[in-house]
Amino acid sequence: MMTPDRQTDVAILSVAPTGPRKTRQDHPNLPMTPNQVAVTAAECLDAGAAMIHIHVRDDQGRHTLDEQAYRRMIDRIVQEVGRDMVIQVTTESCGMYHPRQQIDMVRQLRPESISLAIAEFIPDKSHESAAAEFFEWLAKEHIFTQFIFYSADQICYFQDLLKRGLISGSDPCVLFVLGRHAKPQLGQPEQLDSFLTASTFQRAWFVCAFGERESDCVAAALSQGGHARVGFENNLLLPNGEQAQYNADLIADARARAFRHGRTTATADDVRMLFQQCLES
């Protein structure tokens, strides 16, 4: 099992306020428009978040990777919070986009930060070369990249890519996803063990979790030196089972959990410094 990096007691809290699937039928305060997401960003910043993970929608409220839609949302968030939050763009395909389209969007947008799932960018070995070229470009452009994993097997494959030099660095930023979108695969704290056993990542590992045990999963990560992503994308409930009114409520709970484990919450500059260290590792 990996040994957590305990050189700092700073915990990064990221909010995922929307996701690609939920609508206001799922929650009346789900932020979907640029203005709604920007207001949510400011609320979550006040509650302790240093980072926001954004999805955009088309005019019908459907998931999209449209570059201009991203630009409009990013501009509106910056108007609200300036550089006090790191804005992370999702590349999630949601079953609608293939790797080349995902890559093209990022190359056109050139955001500060992205998240990407290895399983989507390299669905089979024939995609390794194109993915490696893209990952090299991301590093040269200093685009802070978070790699997403849904299983320990995916981590093992990713570490093989690192060994073969298809991804630069040795200790990148990663996100472990506990549970799945489809029921009944809800996130459980004990699921974290398999990810930590499989991985060698120490500098910047995050956890997110589906369902009502999100807070317990976050506590498990924070107690072992990890960081957390919470929000309506994956969970609508407070630890007591009641529906959260706003995304900021979930961030506030995560901050309280961090304090209980002797950790303070990061600023956006802390995040940028840590991600820079990942790029240089």
Q: Give the burial string for 7-35 (b: 16+ CB within 10 Å, else e).
A: eeebbbbbbbbbbbebeeeebebbbbebe
Q: Which is more confident, 219 or 166? A: 219
Q: Is the pTM of this model over 0.75?
A: yes
- Please classify residue 115 by burial: count the beta carbons closer than 10 Å to its beta carbon, then call 0-12 exposed, 13-18 middle and 19+ buried: buried
Q: Which of 180, 210, 232 is nearest to 18 (CA)?
A: 232
Q: Which of 248, 184, 223, 241 is nearest to 36 (CA)?
A: 248
CATH superfamily, domain 10-280, is: Aldolase class I (3.20.20.70)
CA separation for the pair 230, 270 (Å, rounded): 19
Mean pLDDT of the chain: 93
CA separation for the pair 181, 117 (Å, rounded): 15
Digit-coded pLDDT (tens) for 22-48: 999 999 999 999 999 999 999 999 999
Residue 184's pLDDT is what? 60
Digit-coded pLDDT (tens) for 173-206: 999 999 987 666 789 999 999 999 998 887 899 9
Residue recorded with tokens 């190359």: 107
Residue 174's pLDDT is what? 95
- Please classify residue 238 by burial: count the beta carbons closer than 10 Å to its beta carbon, then call 0-12 exposed, 13-18 middle and 19+ buried: middle
Per the DSSP assignment, residues forming a β-bridge with 63 are: 57
